[in-house]
Every structure is written in C-alpha cells, then in structure tokens.
Amino acid sequence: MRESPGWRALGKAYGMTADSETPLRADARRNRDQIIAAARTIFTQQGPDVPMEVIARAAAVGVGTLYRRFPDRDALIGAVARDNFARVLTEARASIAEEPTAWDALVRFLRQSRELKLSVQLAMVSPVAAVVIRDDPLTDEFRRALLDELDSVVHAAQAEGTLRKDVDTGDVAMLFSLLLRQISGDDELARVAPERCMTLMLDGLRAQPGSPLPGRPLTSEDLNKHLTPPT
Amino acid sequence: MRESPGWRALGKAYGMTADSETPLRADARRNRDQIIAAARTIFTQQGPDVPMEVIARAAAVGVGTLYRRFPDRDALIGAVARDNFARVLTEARASIAEEPTAWDALVRFLRQSRELKLSVQLAMVSPVAAVVIRDDPLTDEFRRALLDELDSVVHAAQAEGTLRKDVDTGDVAMLFSLLLRQISGDDELARVAPERCMTLMLDGLRAQPGSPLPGRPLTSEDLNKHLTPPT
DNA sequence: GCCTATGTGGAGGAAAATATTCCGGTTCCT
DNA sequence: AGGAACCGGAATATTTTCCTCCACATAGGC
C-alpha cells in the first residue's frame, strides 16, 4: 500500500523529471530510457496512436513494465514530448553556436534534425498529442524557447540577405513539417527522395537559388519500379 | 443463390466498369456514385483505413448497401482508385491543352489538383492500397498514361528553360506528394499554410525564382495562437 | 551469500472498435 | 399492379486494444 493518494496524478502532471520520488533502480531506469527511445522512433514513423504493445516490444520490454512506468498513453506521450523538445532545442543551439552564418545554421538544423519531425508531428499533426503538450507546462516552456531560437536564426538569415524577406518562422516550420510523412517501402526511391525534396525546398527558400541536388534525377520509371517488382 | 462461382472474383478484378453485368437500377447507380464520391473525400483526408461505416454515413447510405456493392474494402479502394486516376488524367490533359506554356500547365495541374493528392496517397503512402492498385490492370493503365503526360510536361518545361534541368518527373511527383498531410485544425494557419508552401516549393523548382507569396508571413506567434487558445 | 524491496514479463479477461450478415420493408420499372 | 431489385440499420461475429495481476527474477545493501 505504498501509493499515497494523488501519486498518479502527480506523476502524470510532472512526469519523471529525474528528481521525482525514489530514484529508480538501475535496471528500471535503463528500461525506462529504452521505452522512451523506442517510442520516439515509432511515434516519428507512425504517429502517437500505435498500440502500447508495439512500443513495449520495440523497447524489448513487457507491456506490464510499460504500464507501470507510464500509467496511460498520455503520460508516455508527455514524457516523449519533453525529451524530444529538449533535444531539438539542444540541436538548434548547437547549430547556431557552431555554424558561421545564420543560413548555414538554419540548413544544418533542418537537415540533421529527425527530432524536429517528431516535434512538429506531436505539436501540430496529432490532436491528442497537442492536448497533452498544451497541458504540460514544461513542454510548453521548451516549445517557447525553441521558437525563440528559430526566430533569431530566421531573422538573422534575412538580415544576411540569404533568406527571402517575405517568409517568417512560421513558414519555415510549416514547410519542413511537410517532410513528415514517409513514403512507404525501403528502396532507393524512399531513401533518396527526402534529401532531394529537402534541397529543392531550401532552394525555394533561398534568396538566390542554385544548389546542386544529391543523387540523380528520379524518373517516372523509378516510380514504376517502386510500385511493381518487390514481391 | 444468384451468385455463380467466380462472380465475386470477377467483380473484384474488373470492378463495375459501367458495362459489367446487369446495368444497375437507377437508385442503385446513384447510391453507388455517392459512395465513391464520399470515399474519395474521406480517403483524401484520412487515408483508406477508415471504418466502412464512416464511408456509408458520409454517402447517406446504409452499411448494407455499401457491402452489397463492394464485397470488401479492397473492392472499394479499387473502384475509388480507378475513378480517381481517371480524373487526374483528365485534369492533366486539360491543363496541357489549355495553358500556353508547359510551366503554366505544370503549375495549374499541381495547384488545382486535390485529386492528385489522393492518387499519390493511394499509390505511394498506403501499403494496402498500393497492393490493390498493383493488382488491378485498369488502374495500372491509368497510372502509366498519367506518368506519360507528366513526363511530357516536365520535359517540355525544361526545354522552355522554366524548369531546372537537374530534376525529373519523379522529383516533381515526390515533392508535391509531401503536401499530403493536413495540419490539424481549421484556423487561418491551417488554411493559408498549404498555399504558401506550394508557392515556395514551386520557387524551388523554377529555374529563376521570385513569385510573390499569397497572404502574409506566418510568425512564430501564429504558431502559438494555433496551439493555445481554442479551448 | 542472503534477504527483501523493487522490478519484470506476458497471459488473459474486459471493453471497444470494426467487419459482415440478414431480413422486414421500400422503391423502381414494365 | 406486381415482382425483382434494392434499401437501412439492428444484430451478430470478429478483431484490436487496453490494462490488471501475479508468479518469478534481480539489484544492491548488509
């Protein structure tokens, strides 16, 4: 009868922010991290509506363990969101700090960041997750901080003359949020296409265009091959 | 016991291509069209995995009617796919015939075509639908014809000098397939964003950039408003 | 090494979502 | 009018998903 009343509610509101309650046994902590890592991957690919068991399997853990650590899906989503937003923020700051120009920082940030995908997915695509995020003050804080950083790069790039003046942070975020959905399959097309699209989109953003595209042009024959032969 | 053996298989393979079997009573035909129309809308928005009853309701029809006309989901998907591919093909040909330049034809085709969205969704995003399409010779024919048309516009635009030379039909299709997923919600952001993205992407494709963007720049504050206040 | 609080896996029953059948009643067509 | 074709949706079957529970395992202080 260890559970005092309100324990669950507290856990759900603030999550396990490292310092909460008893400091988890070593293996428990490891499992918890695996769960979040697995959920991060799967949420990115399939959205936050996948059955809990899928996540448990991917984390090499029993469903029981998952439920013990996260009382319901919302708790899990919340934890993943906090973790993910923090990562994105870190990446953004690193880009800004390490790249010579604002444009380079922007490009690096957008290119390297698979994490960003998940953030946008959680915040803007999935209605369920959006609610969870709105109700979690910590996540909300991360989100604000992130947007501040983005704002500063975007405006700096415009001051540099590398980013067109008729867009703003919202446009940039929206544009790249479109890279969300994966093409099904795992052939060359599915692998190369996102990079090419990314480059084309960056050319669209740039004040003057002209970047070379990676890979070779994808023809309609490529699409055919993607549709027909696998089996 | 009207159903001779093989009837279902035949119906599934070729679908009701207007001339199949007995020519359907008037009300039946009407209902069938409503079903396909409804399915088209819903598939576009939510993908082809929605419960059958949702489609029936949207078509103002009982589930029974739906199942009578389409023995299973695959049959429905097949019918919608044929209908949709045919529409896209028509739109493509109209664009090519009526626009003065290849670039204009391309832009019009990509802009106006909500249908295209569904085609790409069915053919490339949903694995289930992809299988159905692959197994249906008629749909396959449509798809080839469509890609031929696309090929010709793309190459014509390149010959004109309006489309960059380092892309091909596959790139164009992929890029716009990204416009698939909607942002959740129905506020200004959700309404304006797609158009802006479309224009940015076209700028990225264009040999020289410079189109004015519709609407006003979306700021990070716009994103905030989208996330917080509704209720 | 031993002991116990803490943690684990996953079977299994409850609940929800979805698919599919069936038939009394209605509508079209000649 | 009259019969074949068709309709709606309640009822039933099936599948998916959730979540609890407990016999067994392990970490880690002593």
**pLDDT higher for A8 or A227?**
A227
Q: With contact defined as beta carbons under 8 Å apart, do B206 and B164 qualify?
A: yes
Cα–Cα distance measured from residue A108 to residue B59, given in angstroms and rounded to the nearest whole number: 47
Backbone angles phi, psi at A78, to 5 degrees: -60, -50
Stretch A196-219: mean pLDDT: 69
**pLDDT higher for B172 or A57?**
A57
Cα–Cα distance measured from residue B155 to residue B158, given in angstroms and rounded to the nearest whole number: 5
Residues of B in contact with A204 (CB under 8 A): 200-205, 209
Residue A5 — pLDDT band, cuts 50, 70, 90?
very low
Residues recorded for chain B: 231
The confidence score (pLDDT) of residue A105 equals 95
Cα–Cα distance measured from residue A150 to residue A143, given in angstroms and rounded to the nearest whole number: 11
The confidence score (pLDDT) of residue A204 equals 75
**pLDDT higher for A53 or B17?**
A53
* Residue B39, beta-bridge partner list: none
* Residue A163, beta-bridge partner list: A206
**pLDDT higher for A74 or B4?**
A74
* Residue A30, beta-bridge partner list: none
pLDDT digits (tens, 9 = 90+) for A130-177: 888 888 899 888 888 888 888 899 889 989 988 888 888 877 877 777
Residues of A in contact with B227 (CB under 8 A): 123-124, 130, 133-134, 143
Place of tokens 């918890």: A32
Whose CA is closest to B68, among B114, B4, B3, B133?
B3
Secondary structure letter of residue B225 according to DSSP = H
**Residue A13 predicted with pLDDT over 70:** no
Cβ distance of B174 and A197 shorter than 8 Å: yes
**Shortest-distance nucleotide from A67 CA to C1':** D19
CB atoms within 10 A of CB A15: 21
pTM of the model: 0.80
Residue A220 — pLDDT band, cuts 50, 70, 90?
low
Residues of A in contact with B162 (CB under 8 A): none
**pLDDT higher for A95 or A114?**
A95
Cα–Cα distance measured from residue A173 to residue B150, given in angstroms and rounded to the nearest whole number: 30
**Residue A71 predicted with pLDDT over 70:** yes
Chosen from B165, B223, B225 to mutate, greatest number of chain A CBs within 10 A: B223
Listing DSSP states for A35-104 in one string gives HHHHHHHHHHHH-TTS-HHHHHHHTT--HHHHHHHSSSHHHHHHHHHHHHHHHHHHHHHHHHHHSSSHHH
User: In Å, what is the separation between the CA of B58 and the C1' of D27?
Assistant: 58
The confidence score (pLDDT) of residue B214 equals 59
Cα–Cα distance measured from residue B134 to residue B126, given in angstroms and rounded to the nearest whole number: 12
Cα–Cα distance measured from residue B138 to residue B86, given in angstroms and rounded to the nearest whole number: 10
On the CB side of B59, how many CA atoms lie within 13 Å of its CA? 28
Segments of chain B with pLDDT less than 50: 1-19, 231
Mean per-residue pLDDT over chain A, rounded: 79
Identify which of A125, A126, A200 has the shortest CB distance to residue B175.
Answer: A200
Where does residue A108 rank: exposed (0-12), middle (13-18), buried (19+ CB within 10 A)? middle
The confidence score (pLDDT) of residue A97 equals 96
Listing DSSP states for B29-77 in one string gives HHHHHHHHHHHHHHHHHH-TTS-HHHHHHHTT--HHHHHHHSSSHHHHH
User: In Å, what is the separation between the CA of A139 and the C1' of D22?
Assistant: 36
